[in-house]
Amino acid sequence: MLASRLSLALGPRVSSTTRRDLSARLGKGRHFRFAPAHRSLLFQSRKAVPDNLSDARYEVALANRILANEGVLDAFGHVSLRHPSDPSRYLLSRSRSPGLIEPDDVLEFTLDSEPVATPSVQLYAERVIHGCIYEARPDVTAVCHHHAPSVMPFCIAGVPIVPVFIWGLPGVKRCRSGISATSSATRICWWSSRRRAARSLARSDRTARCS
């Protein structure tokens, strides 16, 4: 049952070995719930970051595939994860469509977004976004660069996204005050000034970033 549910997120092109390994790994210490109406795979992990590098690579690959399946990532989006044992590094896939990423595609990078090992494959040009955020925010453990259709119109039109809290009773004021206003970092080209972007990101909190 778990393998069939994973197949919705993993897609038909993932190898059978990877599918079995993911089923075995993700079935331990996690609780799964399947929502057939939305054809989505929902899960809760007991730990924010996996303990070892192998598990972390699987998590990055799975996150990319799930977000691609849900329409959050298009062919150009990507997800990264801070290294589980070395906070001065992070994990990001080689340049590939997120719906096709496998664990072996996930590479290690320094906070300067340089690959730890000499790569034989093409890398994402936008990886510097991930490095800047991890450098500026030691508390951040994962980064998603996306062009979600539900968010991009606000970025293009310059219209602020109004925070919405579904329960209209106690907690609304506290919830809204916890969402920062859009930072000036959204108007900084990532290739023009890494330090300026990093400083802006360091002043922001819990705010979605679109570049």
Question: Is residue 80 a contact partner of residue 132, using CB atoms and an 8 Å limit?
Answer: no
The one catalytic residue in 102, 114, 126, 135 is 126
Catalytic status, residue 114 = no
Which helix (H) or strand (E) segment is 43 a member of?
A: strand 40-45
Q: Cα separation of 169 and 101, whole Å?
A: 42
Q: Which amino acid is at 8?
A: L
Task: Look up tokens 């979605």; give the residue.
Answer: 208
Pairing label, strands 40-45, 30-35: antiparallel
- Residues with a catalytic annotation lie at 126
